[in-house]
Homo-oligomer: A and B are copies of this chain.
Amino acid sequence: MTCNAISLRDIRSFHVGGATVELTGQPRQDVRVSPDAAPRTVDLNGHYVSGQLYAQHFVLDRPRSDVPILFWHGGAMTGVTWETTPDDRPGWSQVFLRHGHDVVVSDAVERGRASWAPFPQIYDSPPLFRTAEDAWYLFRMGAAEDFARRRPFAGQRFPIARFDQLCAQFVPRWTTNAKATIAAYMQLVARFDRVIIVAHSQGGWFAQSLAARLPDRVAAVVLLEPAGAPNLAPEEMARAARVPHLYVWGDNCDSHPAWRPYKSDATAYSESLRSRGGTVDTLDLPKHGILGNSHMPMMDDNSDEIASMILGWLARTRD
């Protein structure tokens, strides 16, 4: 065996959460399913599983940590976020595996392999789609007006030449499945003794809620630019404060109309946790002299360095 190989005892995947829903009263259709095959009558009436998430679980042969890392992607994305960077370097799922953690890569409810249900019959509305322009602006690649010529912010660390590979990863999303999402992740976490959650953007919003609900199961949460913070009742905040939280922020947040309020909300939340005795740390990268990070630190050119900082925090915090 090459000394740097990843030795796995198991690679498992499964869907968890959701419920069976019945659809009735839909018209039948005759559909040609394969181009050269005869049309087939398709009947949409019937039972569906809706609200499940998908998880792929990499089980190391000899883990050096007894707590797996649960990766939770952001809005309009899937577990692909963590797998390979757009410019083909190892993603954090591999980095954390090589560091001795079992890894669980999830696709949230309605995203990617988790699947989605018919609308308006089961979901109440059509999905939203992420455009390249939207990502350019929201993920802080550059100024909105510089999208057409792909001129990034000075010192940009995201591999801009592979921006289209990032856009190929986007999936449609709904904004009305928060309850199902939390419920499915609670079931996922309950499958493990304890997990460390590493969550990005919208996933970070959810992960903060989950830590407050399952403080005995969540060993720590790492929040990569969470899209704000939940409004929790005092007793929920007290539970959340039992879980160590690390907030990570890239460059150009404070001047960005979307990220300034998200960061401000999350910072107020983190201060509230700290006031309750919680272990809360913030890795505001520009304040550490690390400039140029986009909204996608797991894909930026210093992704290995940021992973190391997170692993260092986990080691210190859990000692």
Cβ-neighbour of A54 out of B9, B80, B88, B178 (below 8 A): B80
Q: Does B13 lie within 8 Å of A84, measured CB to CB? A: yes
Q: Does B80 lie within 8 Å of A13, measured CB to CB? A: yes
Give residues 29-51 of A contacting B (CB, 8 Å): 29, 31-38, 40, 42-49
Smallest beta-carbon distance A9→chain B, Å: 6
Binds B, one of A161-169, A233-241, A279-287, A306-314: A161-169
Q: Does B84 lie within 8 Å of A12, measured CB to CB? A: yes
Shortest Cβ distance from A117 into B: residue:
B129
Cβ-neighbour of A131 out of B4, B15, B48, B261 (below 8 A): B48
Chain A residues bordering chain B, tally (CB within 8 A): 87
Q: Does A83 lie within 8 Å of B12, measured CB to CB? A: yes
Shortest Cβ distance from A36 into B: residue:
B231
Binds B, one of A107-115, A192-200, A217-225, A246-254: A107-115
Residues of B within 8 A of A18 (CB): 168
Q: Does B1 lie within 8 Å of A62, measured CB to CB? A: yes
Does chain B have a CB within 8 A of A255? no
A196 to B47, CA, bound (A): 36
Q: Does A33 lie within 8 Å of B227, measured CB to CB? A: yes
Q: Does A133 lie within 8 Å of B43, measured CB to CB? A: yes
Tallying the copies of this chain within the complex gives 2
Residues of B within 8 A of A78 (CB): 113
Residues A115 and B172 in contact in the complex (CB < 8 Å), given A49-B164, A88-B12: yes
A117 to B62, CA, bound (A): 42
Cβ-neighbour of A94 out of B11, B170, B227 (below 8 A): B11
Residues of B within 8 A of A36 (CB): 205, 228-231
Extra contacts besides A15-B80, A52-B168 (7): CB < 8 Å: A15-B165, A33-B128, A34-B202, A40-B258, A44-B131, A49-B167, A107-B113
A interface residue numbers (CB < 8 A to B): 1-2, 4-15, 18, 20, 23, 29, 31-38, 40, 42-49, 52, 54, 56, 58, 61-62, 75, 78-80, 83-84, 88, 90-91, 93-94, 97, 107, 112-113, 115-118, 128-129, 131-134, 164-165, 167-172, 175, 178, 202, 205, 227-231, 258, 261-262, 265
